[in-house]
Amino acid sequence: MDKQLGIGLMSGTSLDGIDAVLIEIEGSSINTKVNVIESLTHEYRSDVRTAIKELCDPEIASLEKICSMNMFLGRELGMIVNELLDKAGIGKEDVLFVSSHGQTIFHKPVGGESRMDVPGTLQIGDLSMLSEMTGITAVGDFRTADMSAGGQGAPLVSFVDYILFNNPDRSRAIQNIGGIGNVTYIPRNAKKDQVMSFDTGPGNMVIDEVVYRLTEGKQAYDKDGRIAYKGEVNKKLLNKLMEHPYFTVKPPKTTGRELFGSSFVDSFMRDSADLSFEDRVATVTAWTAKTIAESYSCFIESSRNSIDDVVIGGGGSYNPFLMEQLHRYLPNQIVYKHEDFQLSSDLKEAIAFAILGYHCLIGQSNQIPSATGAHNPVIMGKISHTQQQAFQRLNDLRGNLH
Ligand SMILES: Nc1ncnc2c1ncn2[C@@H]1O[C@H](COP(=O)(O)OP(=O)(O)OP(=O)(O)O)[C@@H](O)[C@H]1O
Ligand SMILES: CC(=O)N[C@H]1[C@@H]2OC[C@@H](O2)[C@@H](O)[C@@H]1O[C@H](C)C(=O)O
């Protein structure tokens, strides 16, 4: 089959904005080959970020605002795709698909007591709007398919980590530090069903919120760890933070703003009231690193499993204080960044969702049940065309597949 052009869009839980990447893709599953052609990052305006953050809080979110934001983000995604194509000098008629993660506003991987209280997840940024704005087939809404098969609906990037990092001689933990942290563990020479994955806990989410509050909204994150470097880690508070019940839950497990969002930071602010601004930031940053390292020793390392390499990605890899702490807590592993493997930490998830979307279109499973806890493999994703020509391009590809 020929190489195809596709676009991946990632709007992650840190709410920093939207990453867009134009790729060339060929092959499938473990033989997938990807080449990045162009990319861009669109930062959310602060009013958009605040509005989305409100939608993540069930106490203040309204149905009307969720519906409007779904269409608004679909339009934003469409504008970004059109901008990316202009930048690359490529016309929509040459692009097979755009695959979008969507903006998670709620994620509940485990149900409750009542019959109707089943697991659910919602990623907004409407696919019809995206397809209509671009004239390209849009793919998205991946997580519900995994949940339908009994999975946690995350981490989905595990499928792509297995393709990119599987190695005959090295066992690897691929660690994303976005809003939330998640890891994919790939033993040496792993078969797909030996891959394990789970959310380790907070990524930058708590650091960002603490910085945002203490700078009264002037700073959205601790750029280059500058604030943390000026502080000291408070051991007593660090140990108290480690007592959060999420860290004792066995994988597969996922989390989000529901556990580590506003209410969590409210209690952190109370518990740390007598510390300086810098000490508070240093402590949450060290804690973030420690949760990652301890999740490996509790849930990955055993008499059968060991980790040779840790490969850090996501925005947290740009925070040197956080990276130093990770080195400190992981003395027995070689700690790399995605860039050491010629992959941009910023773009990795957008590339990953392009790969997931492509597999959906060609009808191949794009998920690893042992990673998400699903009982069987599924093809994740939903497809929207809105325009005849977009549908026709996909139909031609499918004709070539047979
Ligand atoms: N130079 C930097 N110094 C410190 N932190 C940084 C730097 N650059 C990025 N970050 C952190 O990375 C975050 C963004 O990370 P990323 O884009 O990986 O998150 P995401 O994709 O939204 O999250 P997720 O993977 O959870 O969905 C920012 O909010 C910030 O905290
Ligand atoms: C529900 C949701 O959006 N989860 C995200 C979040 O952000 C990081 C972590 O928690 C991860 O498990 C997941 O995203 C990545 C892209 C994934 O599914 O692999």
- The answer, yes or no, to whether residue 10 has pLDDT greater than 80, is yes
Q: What's the pLDDT band for 400 if we cut at 50, 70, 90?
A: confident
In 3D space, the residue among 207, 200, 178, 201 whose CA is nearest the CA of residue 321 turns out to be 207
Task: Verify that 299 and 258 share a domain, yes or no.
Answer: yes
Report pLDDT digits (tens) over 291-349. Answer: 999 999 999 998 888 999 999 999 999 999 999 999 999 999 999 999 999 999 999 99
Query: Domain check: are 336 and 359 in the same one?
Result: no
Same domain for 122 and 227, yes or no, is no
Q: Point out the domain boundary residue: 321, 341, 361.
A: 341
Question: Residue 1's pLDDT is what?
Answer: 66
Residue bearing the CA closest to ligand 2, atom 8: 180
Identify the pLDDT of residue 402.
Answer: 61
For residues 45 and 178, give the distance between their C-alpha atoms in angstroms, rounded to a whole number. Answer: 19
For a mutational test of ligand 2's pocket, the pick from 108, 156, 204, i.e. the residue with the most ligand atoms closer than 8 A to its C-beta, is 156
Mutate to test the pocket of ligand 1, among 318, 344, 346 (most ligand atoms within 8 A of CB): 318
- Mean pLDDT confidence for 167-183: 97
CATH code at position 140? 3.30.420.40
Q: Which residues form the domain of 88?
A: 4-150+347-401
Tokens 């806990």, residue located? 201
**CA 296 to CA 317: how far, in whole Å?**
18
- Check whether residue 124 and residue 228 sit in a common domain: no
Q: Quick one: 159 exposed, middle or buried, by C-beta within 10 A (0-12, 13-18, 19+)? A: buried
When pLDDT is averaged across residues 21-49 and rounded to a whole number, the result is: 96
Half-sphere exposure of 182 (CA within 13 A, CB side): 27
Looking up tokens 């930490």 gives 345
Q: Average pLDDT of 186-202?
A: 96
Retrieve residue 272's tokens: 């740390």
Q: Whose CA is nearest to atom 22 of ligand 1?
A: 12
- The binding site for ATP consists of 12-19
Supply the mean pLDDT for the chain. Answer: 96
Residue 46's φ and ψ, nearest 5 degrees, are -65, -30
Q: Are residues 118 and 203 in the same domain?
A: no
164 & 129 share domain: no
Residues 325 and 288 in one domain: yes
**Residue 401, pLDDT above cutoff 80:** no
- The structure's pTM equals 0.96
Residues of the chain with pLDDT > 90, as a percent, come to 94
Cα–Cα distance for residue pair 319/288, rounded to 1 Å: 12
- Alpha-carbon distance of 202 to 165, in angstroms, equals 23
Strands 309-313 and 196-202: unpaired
The reply to whether 192 and 306 lie within a common domain is yes
Pick from 291, 320, 341: which residue ends a domain? Answer: 341
Express each pLDDT in 250-299 by its tens digit.
999 999 999 999 999 999 999 999 999 999 999 999 999 999 999 999 99
- Cα separation, 134 vs 4, in Å, equals 17
CA angle, residues 112, 57, 269, in degrees to nearest 5: 105
For ligand 2, atom 9, which residue shows the shortest CA distance?
180
82: which residues sit within 8 A by CB, 6+ positions away?
133, 134
Detail the residues annotated as belonging to a binding site: 12-19
Most informative mutation of 9, 10, 13 for ligand 2 (most atoms within 8 A of CB): 13
Which are the contacts of 339, defined by CB distance < 8 A and separation ≥ 6?
A: 345
Same domain, 50 and 16: yes
Whether residues 319 and 379 fall in one domain: no
Distance between CA atoms of residues 157 and 160, nearest Å: 5
Side chain identity at residue 146, one-letter code: D
> What is the complex's ipTM, to 2 decimals?
0.98
Looking at 189-198, 217-226, 390-399, which range is the least confident one? 390-399
Q: Quick one: which atom of ligand 2 is closest to the CA of 255?
A: 10
Do residues 352 and 248 share a domain?
no
13 CA: nearest ligand 2 atom? 7
* CB-ligand 1 contact for 350 (6 Å cutoff): no
The answer to whether 166 and 151 are in contact (CB under 8 A) is: no
The per-residue pLDDT for range 96-110, each reduced to its tens digit, is: 999 999 999 999 999
Residue 166 confidence (pLDDT): 97
User: Cβ(333) to ligand 1 under 6 A?
Assistant: no
Shared-domain flag, residues 208 and 304: yes
% of the chain residues with pLDDT over 70: 99
Q: Which residue has the higher pLDDT, 396 or 89?
A: 89
The total number of structural domains in the chain stands at 2
Peptide bond into 252 cis (omega under 30): yes
Ligand 1 neighbour 261 (Cβ under 6 A): no
